[in-house]
Amino acid sequence: MQPFALSAVEASELIHKRELSCEDLARSTLAQIARYEPEIRAFAYLDPEAVVRRARELDKLTPGHALHGLTFAIKDVIETFDMPTTYNTPAYASHRSGKDAACVATVRALGALVVGKTDTVEFGANGRPAATRNPHNLMHTPGGSSSGSAAAIAAGMAQLAFGTQTGGSIIRPAAYNGVFGFKPTHGVTSSEGAKVYAPSLDTIGWYGRSVADLSLVADALRICDEPSNVPVALRGLKVGLYRGPHWDKVDASGKAALESTAAALAREGAEIVELALPADFESLSAAQQIIIRQEGRRSFLPELLSRPDVMHPLIRQTAENVVGYRHSDLVTAYDTAAMCRSKFDALFRDSGHLDVVLTPPALGEAPYGLDDTGSPACNSIWTLLHAPCISMPTGLGSGGLPVGIQMVTARFGDRRLLDVAWAIQRDLGLGVAPCAHMRSEI
Amino acid sequence: MQPFALSAVEASELIHKRELSCEDLARSTLAQIARYEPEIRAFAYLDPEAVVRRARELDKLTPGHALHGLTFAIKDVIETFDMPTTYNTPAYASHRSGKDAACVATVRALGALVVGKTDTVEFGANGRPAATRNPHNLMHTPGGSSSGSAAAIAAGMAQLAFGTQTGGSIIRPAAYNGVFGFKPTHGVTSSEGAKVYAPSLDTIGWYGRSVADLSLVADALRICDEPSNVPVALRGLKVGLYRGPHWDKVDASGKAALESTAAALAREGAEIVELALPADFESLSAAQQIIIRQEGRRSFLPELLSRPDVMHPLIRQTAENVVGYRHSDLVTAYDTAAMCRSKFDALFRDSGHLDVVLTPPALGEAPYGLDDTGSPACNSIWTLLHAPCISMPTGLGSGGLPVGIQMVTARFGDRRLLDVAWAIQRDLGLGVAPCAHMRSEI
C-alpha cells in the first residue's frame, strides 16, 4: 500500500516507529493529488514545495503527538497564516489572514502537515458551488459545503480534513463521498478564524478514513472529558432508529443502508427501538431556517455594504433579509431549540435510555450534476440541537455512489458516540467506500 | 467648542452641512490625543498621519451615512486590516490581520474614521491589565476589559469606540469613566474578527457621549427591526428597580445614583416597581462562570499548545481547566440560562409588563489602582441573559469619580431600550461626567 492510502492511525504508527518519514508520506500524497486533482478539483490552493519543506522540518523533530506528520486538508473558509483564504468568493480572491484559525493552529502545534485549502460552497453558505467533483463519479456532486475536504479524503489526497457545518455541510459530503465524517457538539471546539455564517449553529468538524482517525483529531482538540472507554460491546446497546420526516424522499439505496445496518446491529445483540420525537420537534427545521437567515443577515452585512456588486444573489438575499424575518421569530426559534435540546438529551439519560440514534445522513446517493449539492434535510435538526453527529459509509448504492448511516447522541456525548461508532465499524466491517482513484494505487 | 469635544450627532450634523471638515475634526481629535495620551494611555496603536490622509479622502466624498467622518476608536481585540491587533499579549505583539472585523468593516463602509486601537485587558479576558488610566483620576482604574475605549471617549480622544463584553467589559468601564455605553442583545451584531473568549457570551458593544450617539451606531449595524419610536414619555413608563444581590457591596455614591434616578423618574410620572427575580436566577452568576471558563478553555487551547511560555497564568489556568469543570456542568449552565432568558423576557411582555429594569452598572466609583479593573458582579447575569444593557452617567460620586445607572430589557428590545434611555437622558438632563481634560478645552 502506498503511504497516501494509509489511514491516519496507520500512518501515525509508522511515523512514530520511524518506518515512514513525513517527507515520504507528503510526497506520496502530493503525487496522488498531482495525478487526480485535475479531474477531482478538491483544492482551492496548493503549494507542494512548501509542503515538502515543512515535512522535512517535521522529520527533524521527534514525533510527539499522534498527528505528527499526518496530512491535513483545510476547508477554504478556515484561515491559514501561510495560504490564502478565499471563501470561494470574488471579494476575497486575494485574502490572506495573518494567522491560523484555532483548529488549524491546534493541529499544527501538534505536528500535523497542512497540504492545502479545499474548495467550498461560497462562504460555506449557499452561493457559488465548489468546482469539486465526486471521486466516485465525476458527473455527481460531492455535496456541500465542505465539498473539497470530503472528496480529498475519498480520493486519497489527504488523511484528515477540516470542514464546517451550519446545516448539513460535514455529514452530507461524508455520506456522498463514502468517508467518515464527524460534527462534534456545537461549541466544543473553537471556531475562531472560520468564516462566521450563523454562529449559534456553525461547528468545526472533520473527515477521516475510520472512526479511529476521527478520534485522533477529537483528542487533539481535547473535546472530551474522558479518555476512550473502548471496547464497547454491541450486545445490549440501545439504538433509537429514526427514519425521520423525510423518509419518503430517501432513495432505495439510502433506505437499504439504514435498514440493513439496523438489522445487522440487532443480529449482534443491540436493541433497536423505533424512535418518535416529541411533536414540538416538528418545528425545528423551520426554526433552523429562521436562525440561519437572521444570523446570516448580520454576518454578511459588511459585504453587503462594501462589495454588493460581487455578492452572490443568494447571499445578498440573506443579507437584505428579503424574507422579512423579525427578531420575535428569532426569539421563538432560540427558545424552542433550547427546550428541545434539553428534551433530546433526556432520551440518553433517563431510565431505559438510548445510547445513540441511528438515522440517514442524507437522502441517499449524491445527486447528478455539480450545481445542486443536495439536501440538508437529514442534518439541520441535529445541528440545531447542538448534538454530535457521525457519518459512516456502509457501501455503494444501486447508482454506484456511496451510501451510509448517521449516528447522533446527546450534547457533549462525543466520546460515547465515537466509541460506539468504532465498535460498529469494527463489528460490522465498515470502511471507506472504494473509489477508483484509491483502488488503482493500492 | 473645539471639534473633538462634539458629540457624534453634533459633529455629524456639521459635517453633513459642510460646516466642519473631516480633516478638521480629525486634527482636533489628534491634537487632543497628543496632549493627553501620555498620561491617559488609552491607545495601543496610533498612526496620526494615516488618519489625516484618510480624513482628506473622506472630505472628497459626499457624506452619505451619519457616521461619515466621525472618529472611531477600536478595542485592540478587534481586527483592523491596516493596524496591528495585539490583544495586549506578547504572543501577538506583531500580529496584523488581513482584514477588518465585521463591525469595523461595517462602520468604515459607512465613512467612519478609525483613529487607533485602544488598550485592553489581555485577550479581553483576565490576564495583563491595560496601561490605561482613568481620565477622572489617573490613580484609578478605567475598568476593563474595554479600558482604552471608554477612557478615550471620556477624554475627548474619539467620539465613538467599540468594545466587547463577556462579563462586564463594556458597561463597567462606561460607568467608571462617566460615558454612555451600550451592550446590545447577544448575537445582534456579528462579532467576527473579535478575539473569541466565550462565544455564547461575547458581544460587540460601543461607547459614545449620548444615547443618540449610541443609536447612530445601532442603526449603522442594523440591529433593530424598527426605526426609532421617539418620543417616549416618562409618564406611565414602568421601571423595575433591581438593586441586586450585591447591593451591600455597592458604595454610597453608587447607591445614591440609583436611588436618586429612581426618585427622579417617579417625579416625572414613571411607575417604579421593586423587582424580585425568580429563585432560579440565583444560579446565573455561577452558570456564567462555568460557561466563561469552559468556553474559554477551548478558545485558548492554540496558545496553550504553541506559546505556553508567554501565557498569562490566569489565561493558562483557564486553558488547562485547573478548576476541573465538566461538560455535564456546562449543559446544566446552558439549560438554566436558556430557561431564565425566556422567563426574563416575559417580564417585559406579559400584562402589567415592565419597560426596562433599572440597576447598578458597577459597585460604585472606580477602585484605586490600575491592577484591579473592578468587579463584574453587576453585569454578568445580564450578559448571560443575552439582554441589551445601557450604562448612563449620572454625575460624580463622593470620591470625585463618575457613577451612573444601568438599564436592561428583553432580548432584541434594543430599540426600545435606546428610546427609553434617550427620553431619560433628555428629561433628567444626564450627560457625560465632566473630566478635566474635556473642560480645559471647551
> Does pLDDT of B441 surpass 60?
no
Which residues have CB under 8 Å from A425's CB, separation 6+? Answer: A210, A211, A392, A431
B61 touches chain A (CB under 8 A): no
Cα B398 from Cα B229, distance rounded (Å): 37
- pLDDT given for residue B216 in this prediction: 97
A343 touches chain B (CB under 8 A): no
CA A283 to the chain's CA centroid:
25
Alpha carbon distances (Å) from B250 to A394, B182, B257, B306, B361? 63, 21, 11, 42, 10
Q: Give the position of cell 491560523.
A: A100
Cα B88 from Cα B422, distance rounded (Å): 34
Cα A412 from Cα A421, distance rounded (Å): 15
- pLDDT given for residue B1 in this prediction: 84
A204 touches chain B (CB under 8 A): no
Q: Are the beta carbons of B100 and A299 separated by less than 8 Å?
A: no
What is the per-residue DSSP string for A83-131?
Answer: SB--TT-GGGTT-B-SS--HHHHHHHHTT-EEEEEEP-SGGGTTSSPPS
Judge whether B251 lies within some domain. no
Q: Report which DSSP code applies to A348.
A: T
Closest CA to A79 of A204, A207, A249: A204
Residues 305-324 of B with CB under 8 A from A: 305-306
Q: Is the complex ipTM higher than 0.90?
A: yes
Confidence bin at B228 (pLDDT 50/70/90): confident
Cα A439 from Cα A279, distance rounded (Å): 46
Instruction: Examine the residue annotation and report whether A145 is marked as an active-site residue of this protein.
Output: yes
Amino acid symbol at A183: K
Q: Is residue B386 a contact partner of residue B400, using CB atoms and an 8 Å limit?
A: no
Record the pTM.
0.97
Q: Are the beta carbons of A96 and B98 separated by less than 8 Å?
A: yes
Q: What is the CATH number of the domain that holds A122?
A: 3.90.1300.10
- pLDDT given for residue B52 in this prediction: 98
- pLDDT given for residue A442 in this prediction: 46
Which residues have CB under 8 Å from B420's CB, separation 6+? Answer: B232, B237, B355, B356, B407, B409
Domain limits for position B389:
3-235+352-438
Residue A109: which of B108, B192, B302 has the nearest Cβ? Answer: B302
Q: What is the pLDDT of residues B33-84, one digit of tens each?
A: 999 999 999 999 999 999 999 999 999 999 999 999 999 999 999 999 999 9
Q: Which residues of A touch B222 (CB under 8 A)?
A: 298, 301
Angle (nearest 5°) at CA A231 between A225 and A237: 90
Judge whether A396 lies within some domain. yes
Q: Are the beta carbons of A187 and B295 separated by less than 8 Å?
A: yes
Mean pLDDT of B249-258: 98
Share of chain B above pLDDT 70, in %: 99
Residue B335: which of A110, A196, A342 has the nearest Cβ? Answer: A342
Domain tally for chain A? 1
> Does pLDDT of B395 surpass 60?
yes
A221 touches chain B (CB under 8 A): yes
B105 touches chain A (CB under 8 A): yes
CB atoms within 10 A of CB B57: 13
- pLDDT given for residue A350 in this prediction: 75
Closest CA to A338 of A287, A404, A304: A287
- pLDDT given for residue A225 in this prediction: 86
Judge whether B191 lies within some domain. yes
Q: Are the beta carbons of B302 and A105 separated by less than 8 Å?
A: yes
Beta strands (DSSP E) in B216-342 are: 238-241, 271-274
Cα A287 from Cα A172, distance rounded (Å): 20
Judge whether B88 lies within some domain. yes
- One digit per residue, the tens of pLDDT, for chain A of length 442 reads 899 999 999 999 999 999 999 999 999 999 999 999 999 999 999 999 999 999 999 999 999 999 999 999 999 999 999 999 999 999 899 899 878 999 999 999 999 999 999 999 999 999 999 999 999 999 999 999 999 999 999 999 999 999 999 999 999 999 999 999 999 999 999 999 999 999 999 999 999 999 999 999 999 999 998 887 768 999 999 999 999 999 999 999 999 999 999 999 999 999 999 999 999 999 999 999 999 999 999 999 999 999 999 999 999 999 999 999 999 999 999 999 999 999 999 999 877 799 999 999 999 999 999 999 999 999 999 999 999 999 999 999 999 999 999 999 999 999 999 999 999 999 999 999 988 877 655 4
Judge whether B40 lies within some domain. yes
Residues 412-431 of A with CB under 8 A from B: 412
Give burial (CB, 10 Å; 0-12/13-18/19+) of A222.
Answer: middle
Q: Is residue B199 a contact partner of residue B403, using CB atoms and an 8 Å limit?
A: no
Judge whether B31 lies within some domain. yes
**Among all residues of B, which ones are annotated catalytic?**
75, 145, 169
Among A186, A323, A331, A343, the strongest candidate for a mutation testing the B interface, having the largest count of B CBs within 10 A, is: A331
**B372: Cα within 13 Å, side-chain hemisphere:** 8
Judge whether B226 lies within some domain. yes
- pLDDT given for residue A441 in this prediction: 52
A25 touches chain B (CB under 8 A): no
Mean pLDDT of B176-186: 98
CB atoms within 10 A of CB A286: 14
> Does pLDDT of B442 surpass 60?
no
Cα A195 from Cα B17, distance rounded (Å): 39
Q: Is residue B189 a contact partner of residue B164, using CB atoms and an 8 Å limit?
A: no
